[in-house]
A and B are shown apart, each in its own frame.
Chain A
Amino acid sequence: MAMLEVKNISISFGGLKAVDDFNITIEKGQLYGLIGPNGAGKTTIFNLLTGVYKPDCGRILLDGQDITGHKTAAINRAGIARTFQNIRLFKDLSVLDNVKVGLHNHYRYSTLAGIFRLPSYRKAEKDMDERAMELLKVFDLDREFAYKASNLPYGKQRKLEIARAMATDPKLLLLDEPAAGMNPNETAELMNTIRFVRDHFDMTILLIEHDMKLVSGICERLTVLNFGHMLAEGPTGEVLNDPQVIAAYLGE
Chain B
Amino acid sequence: MMSFLSYFINGVSLGSVYAIIALGYTMVYGIAKMLNFAHGDIIMVGGFTVFTIVSTMGGSPVAGVLASIVVCTVLGVTIEKVAYRPLRDASPLAVLITAIGVSYLLQNVALLIFGSNARQFTSVVTLPPLKLAGGELSISSVTIVTILSCIVIMIALTLFINRTKVGQAMLAVSEDRGAATLMGINVNGTIAVTFAIGSALAAVAGVLLCSAYPSLTPYTGSMPGIKAFVAAVFGGIGSIPGAMIGGILLGIIENLAKAYISSQLSDAIVFSVLILVLLVRPTGILGRKISEKV
Whether A associates with B in a native complex is yes
Docked complex Cα distance between A84 and B293 (Å) = 11
Q: Mark B9-48, 1 if CB is under 8 A from A, else 0.
A: 0000000000000000000000000000000000000000
Q: Which residue of A lies closest to B292 (CB)?
A: A52
In chain B between 236 and 294, which residues have their CB closer than 8 angstroms to a CB of chain A? 294
B-chain residues with CB within 8 Å of residue A47 when the two chains form the complex: 294
B-chain residues with CB within 8 Å of residue A84 when the two chains form the complex: 294
Docked complex Cα distance between A44 and B176 (Å) = 25
Docked complex Cα distance between A211 and B145 (Å) = 68
User: A193 on the interface (CB 8 Å rule)?
Assistant: no
B-chain residues with CB within 8 Å of residue A43 when the two chains form the complex: 294
Residues in A lying within 8 Å of B, measured CB to CB:
43, 47, 52, 84
Total number of B residues with any Cβ neighbor in A under 8 Å = 1
How close is A73's CB to chain B, nearest CB, in angstroms?
14
How close is A189's CB to chain B, nearest CB, in angstroms?
27
4 interchain pairs, CB-CB under 8 A:
A43-B294, A47-B294, A52-B294, A84-B294
Docked complex Cα distance between A47 and B294 (Å) = 8
Q: What does DSSP make chain B's interface, helix, strand, loop or mixed? A: loop
B-chain residues with CB within 8 Å of residue A52 when the two chains form the complex: 294
Give the top 3 A-B pairs by smallest Cβ distance, nearest first. A52-B294, A47-B294, A84-B294
Docked complex Cα distance between A47 and B292 (Å) = 12
A-chain residues with CB within 8 Å of residue B294 when the two chains form the complex: 43, 47, 52, 84
Docked complex Cα distance between A32 and B294 (Å) = 22
Docked complex Cα distance between A43 and B294 (Å) = 8
Docked complex Cα distance between A52 and B292 (Å) = 11
Q: Mark B218-242, 1 if CB is under 8 A from A, else 0.
A: 0000000000000000000000000
How close is B221's CB to chain A, nearest CB, in angstroms?
38
How close is B39's CB to chain A, nearest CB, in angstroms?
32
Docked complex Cα distance between A84 and B294 (Å) = 8
Q: Which residue of B lies closest to A44 (CB)?
A: B294
Q: Which residue of B lies closest to A46 (CB)?
A: B294
Q: Which residue of B lies closest to A13 (CB)?
A: B291
Docked complex Cα distance between A116 and B294 (Å) = 38
Q: Which residue of A lies closest to B293 (CB)?
A: A86
How close is A72's CB to chain B, nearest CB, in angstroms?
10
Q: Which residue of B lies closest to A82 (CB)?
A: B294
How close is A161's CB to chain B, nearest CB, in angstroms?
14
Q: Which residue of A lies closest to B291 (CB)?
A: A13
How close is A33's CB to chain B, nearest CB, in angstroms?
21
How close is A129's CB to chain B, nearest CB, in angstroms?
31
How close is A197's CB to chain B, nearest CB, in angstroms?
23
Q: Which residue of B lies closest to A176 (CB)?
A: B294
Docked complex Cα distance between A43 and B293 (Å) = 11
How close is A15's CB to chain B, nearest CB, in angstroms?
16
In chain B between 147 and 191, which residues have their CB closer than 8 angstroms to a CB of chain A? none
Docked complex Cα distance between A156 and B50 (Å) = 63
Docked complex Cα distance between A33 and B294 (Å) = 20
How close is B288's CB to chain A, nearest CB, in angstroms?
14
Docked complex Cα distance between A216 and B103 (Å) = 63
Q: Which residue of B lies closest to A72 (CB)?
A: B294
How close is B31's CB to chain A, nearest CB, in angstroms?
27
How close is A85's CB to chain B, nearest CB, in angstroms?
9
How close is B156's CB to chain A, nearest CB, in angstroms?
35
How close is B16's CB to chain A, nearest CB, in angstroms?
37
How close is A13's CB to chain B, nearest CB, in angstroms?
10
How close is B157's CB to chain A, nearest CB, in angstroms?
31
Docked complex Cα distance between A71 and B97 (Å) = 37
Q: Which residue of B lies closest to A47 (CB)?
A: B294
How close is A237's CB to chain B, nearest CB, in angstroms?
32
Docked complex Cα distance between A85 and B69 (Å) = 51
Docked complex Cα distance between A210 and B2 (Å) = 72
How close is B91's CB to chain A, nearest CB, in angstroms?
13
Docked complex Cα distance between A148 and B160 (Å) = 49
Q: Which residue of B lies closest to A50 (CB)?
A: B294
Docked complex Cα distance between A47 and B291 (Å) = 14
